[in-house]
Structure formats: C-alpha cells, structure tokens
Amino acid sequence: MHAVSINIAVMLLLMALLAIQHKRNVFSTWRTLTALALGVLWAIAMQILYGENHPALSATLKWYNLVSTGYLFLLQMLVIPLVFVSFATSIANLKDLKLSAAYRKPVIVVLALTTVASALITVFVSRLCKLDGSILSQAIIAAGMPTEHNPYGNILLASMMVFSILAGIALLRIKDTFPKEAEFMLGFLNSGRVLVMHIFSLILSFAPYALLPLAIHFWITARLVPLKAVSFVVELGRFMLAGYLSLAVIFALHLILLGLFGCNPFTYLRKSFAVLALAFKSRSSAATLPRSIDTMVKRCGIPPELAEASIPFASSSGQNGCAGMYPALLVVMAAASFGIDPVSPAFLIPLLLIIAVSSFGIASSGGGATKATLIVLSAMNLPLALMIFLCPIEPLIDMGRTLVNVSGGMLSTIITARRAKNIDMGAYNAKN
C-alpha cells in the first residue's frame, strides 16, 4: 500500500509538470509528446523497481486508469449536446449565408459528395495498407477500457441526429411566420453552441493527462515489451501512410473533377500552389481565407459574390480532410481491430451517411476533425480511446488534412461557377 501511494504521488507530480507546460502555453503537440515520454520513462522505472509481476504494479494501474476512463467519460458526456447544437444551428443558419439561392445548393452538394467520396477512398486505401490497429485494441483491452463507447446506444444517438436536423429545419420554416420566437430560439441555440464548443476545447486540453496513464499501462502490461513497442510504432507508421495516401488520392480526385468540368487542373495547381502551401504550413483553413478568396477572384475568374461567401462556408463545413478522411481512417482502424469488416455494406453505408451529415456544422471551429471523429466513432459504437493513442501523431497528418480541406473549398467554388456559366475562363487560363 505504501508503494502504491508513492506511485500515485509520482503520477500527480508528472501531471503537475504537464500543467506547468499548459500554463506556459506550450503547444499542445509538445505537451502530448511530453506526456507520452514521461509515461514510458516512469513505466520503465517501475518495472526496474518492482519487477514484472509485483502486486504494487497491478494496484497502481487501477488507480492510474481512473484518469483515462474519466477523460473518456467527459468525451462521452459531450456527444449528445455536441450533436444537437451543431446540427440544429448549422441548418437554422443556412438562410443567413451570403450565398445566393443559385449558388447555395451546388456548393453544398459538391462539398457533401466530395466529403463522402473522401471517406470512401480512405476506407479502401486503409484496407490496401492493411491498417488494423490490433496492437492498439490490445492496449485498450489491457487497460480495462470498454470496447464500445456509446453509452446512449445507437438508436438514441441516431434519434438525436434526426431531431437536431428537424429542429433546424423547423426554425428555418418559422422565421417568417413567427420571427420573434424564431430569433429567440436561434439566439439561444447559437449561445448554446458557443458554450458547448468552449467545453469541448477545455476537455480537449486534458488529452495529455489521459495519455500519460495509458502510455504507462500499455508499456507495463505488454509482454515482450521491445516487440510490442516496435509493433506500436509500425502501426502508427501504417496509420500515417494510409492517411497521406488517402489524401493524395482525394487531391487527385479534385484535379480530375476540375478536368471533367472543363478547367485545366494544371492551371489550378499553378495558381493555387501558394494557398495550398500556406494551408499545409499553417494547419488552419481560416488562415488561408484572404489568399484563397483573392486567388479565386483575381486569378481564376470567380465572381466576388460567390468566392467571398463560398470559401468561408467551405472552411467550416463539408471539409474533405477533417470531416471525411480522418473519421473514416479511425473507424477503419477501430473496426478492423475488433473483427468488423469495414467494407461490408451493412457497415459502410451507415458510416458514409453519418459522415455526410456530421460534415456540416461539426467542423465549424477549432478541432473540427476531433469533433467529427468523436461523433462518427460514437455513432458506429467504436472505442474513443483510439483518439487518445493517436494524439502524438495527429498534428503531422493535420497538415495534409488542411491542404485537402482548402482545396475542396476552392473546388466547390470553381465547379459552382462553372455550372452557373459565371466564370471568366479567360482569367482562369491566363498565365498570371
């Protein structure tokens, strides 16, 4: 009991170090990597101090797991309010978009279809890369975490999705007949959305604290530790490979679609290169908005009224990378690791439908990929613990994700203008 108390005290000390980093505004990626490193080092130290099968180790891990399971409980708690405020407000605010009626539907349809296509591409590329996540599922089971993380049940979560969509549609319909009531309800929902997103950001900042005990548990409970560690690194490498291959195919799809609509894809590449490079470097769709709009209007011949409305809308909805590729990547990894065939129609069709719906509204502020993945994993009844294990490498794939998000927004804008015959092809094909 004395040894366990000391181990708990050490854990609290390690968490205090992470808290100091947080207070000093250290970038989240570095805090996550610090948590992983501290967890592995303390796990090795305990193995040296106590040996492989000391009772103090198993007793300590039970206490440590309270942190990880507590974090997962916070994520579960957020699913229902996140679904409601995101879906309801994204639909209810459609009339406030600056997009004209002629442009609104094509932009939304192109974004939705390319997001679904991105998810479908990711599913098959992940299978091609043999992404199974078995080593991660073993860690989840070894840590005593449940392999199903939807406490509400699929039916209740699906019901909330449908209710949220209907609530948004109802608000749209009563805006003209009951303007005061509609304005009050919309203000209430928008305020609720701000509150929920701030709670989400707060919970997300706790991720390094949850990763710390998970890293310790994984290292201690794994037999043949060096082999398990190598397998873990290989699996993360395969995850990165599948992610970037998927992003490459999705970007190639963007170029093919441009060609099909009569726009030279090589011209698009030349003119959008600076914007896409900024997206890759900054990992922020919002940071590229001024340059994206400027490129669309001055170099691609897009009407200003379309570009100035479509590009901001696409930066927060229908994101091909964050809302399409990334959730599908984690779902395939989780499903395969628990013996589920991700390409079976009974699994794939609901997955694509959920991704299509969740792509609008969820990715409307920071952490869009995490929000979308949280909803999709919960709806498919798969473990959320995978999100914690992948925290250290998530920023690396975020660069490519953001590039594809921005490209998808520009693609939807160009296709919409092309269909409306409202694009200056002379400006698009010019060598400037």
**In this predicted structure, what is the pLDDT of residue 391?**
75
Span 96-141, pLDDT tens digits? 666 676 788 888 899 999 999 999 999 999 989 888 777 776 666 6
The backbone torsions φ and ψ at residue 360, rounded to the nearest 5 degrees and listed phi first, read -105, 120
88 SS3 class: helix
- Between the CA of residue 288 and those of 103, 240, 284, 406, what are the distances in Å? 22, 24, 7, 8
Q: What is the mean pLDDT of residues 274-299?
A: 91
**In this predicted structure, what is the pLDDT of residue 224?**
41
Looking at residue 223, the DSSP 8-state letter turns out to be S
Length of the chain equals: 432
Span 178-229, pLDDT tens digits? 888 888 988 888 888 889 888 988 888 888 898 888 888 877 776 544 556 6
Q: Of 82, 86, 388, whose CA–CA distance to 212 is shortest?
A: 388
Q: Of 156, 157, 185, 146, whose CA–CA distance to 169 is shortest?
A: 185
> Which residue blocks in 129-224 are alpha helix, DSSP H?
134-142, 154-174, 179-204, 207-221
Q: Select the more confidently predicted residue: 83 or 142.
A: 83
Taking the CB of residue 286, how many other CB atoms lie within 10 A of it?
Answer: 13
Dihedral over Cα of 417, 420, 422, 425: its sign = positive
Mean of per-residue pLDDT scores for the chain: 85
pLDDT beyond 60 at 48: yes
For the ranges 5-9, 112-116, 358-362, the one whose mean pLDDT is highest = 112-116
- Between the CA of residue 200 and those of 82, 92, 133, 374, what are the distances in Å? 8, 22, 26, 11
pLDDT beyond 90 at 297: yes
Q: Mind listing the domains of the chain with CATH numbers? A: 2-429 (1.10.3860)
Span 25-43, pLDDT tens digits? 888 778 888 998 899 899 8
Angle at 88 (CA atoms; ends 86, 92), nearest 5 degrees: 120
Percent of the chain beyond pLDDT 70? 89
pLDDT beyond 50 at 283: yes
Angle at 405 (CA atoms; ends 269, 171), nearest 5 degrees: 135
pLDDT beyond 70 at 145: no
Largest Cα–Cα separation, the chain: 79
**In this predicted structure, what is the pLDDT of residue 96?**
64
**In this predicted structure, what is the pLDDT of residue 303?**
92
Dihedral over Cα of 136, 142, 143, 146: its sign = positive
pLDDT beyond 80 at 24: yes
The backbone torsions φ and ψ at residue 28, rounded to the nearest 5 degrees and listed phi first, read -55, -35
